[in-house]
Homo-oligomer: A and B are copies of this chain.
């Protein structure tokens, strides 16, 4: 029973995420979620207080969560800046391909029209990036003028803008290519150790 309730809850969340990603928050009704999930509206209201509560759950589930990326983040065998770069590709891929992450990002961008406070993923991402940069700094992998917290803040914002605008202007399929362009423009400023292909001009 407990297990069955979990399964229902999950199927509602995933149906809602698909709809939010496709049609946005305003364009999705509880009836749509019921129809897409094959459950009754009663089931929706049994598991969630309403459409706002489902939106919060969708954002929290992936977009503002870190758990599924934790192994990548904590792998001490990999230099911290490389872990940061690998994480950025994981997130970019999730933003391009995973419906729940995509829905989270779209809901966040529509937050002004949603009558509930949505969790903020950027504080989490920035804190994680700060810790990795601080470790890189301790290991001597960064230029001495690179400040972890300030740099993490800048990287997260530029990274997210790149992902969102690439999807809006081109197609989610090219996000990893665009991310590579961006890292090539950004990594040299962090520290020389992390560069595998030194720019031809030096």
Main secondary structure of the interface of A (DSSP, over half): helix
Note all chain B residues with C-beta closer than 8 A to A4: none
Pair A181/B153 contact, Cβ less than 8 Å: yes
Q: Which of A44-52, A71-79, A164-172 contacts B (4 or more CB under 8 A)?
A: A164-172
Question: Is A185 engaged at the interface, CB distance under 8 Å to the other chain?
Answer: yes
* In the complex, chain A residues 21-71 whose Cβ is within 8 Å of any chain B Cβ: 24, 26-27
Q: Mark A132-154, 1 if CB is under 8 A from B, else 0.
A: 00000000001111100011011
Nearest first, the 7 A-B pairs at minimum CB distance are: A161-B161, A143-B201, A158-B158, A157-B165, A145-B200, A157-B162, A144-B201
User: Can you report 7 A-B residue pairs in the complex whose CB atoms are below 8 A from each other?
Assistant: A26-B26, A143-B201, A154-B162, A154-B185, A159-B161, A160-B165, A192-B201
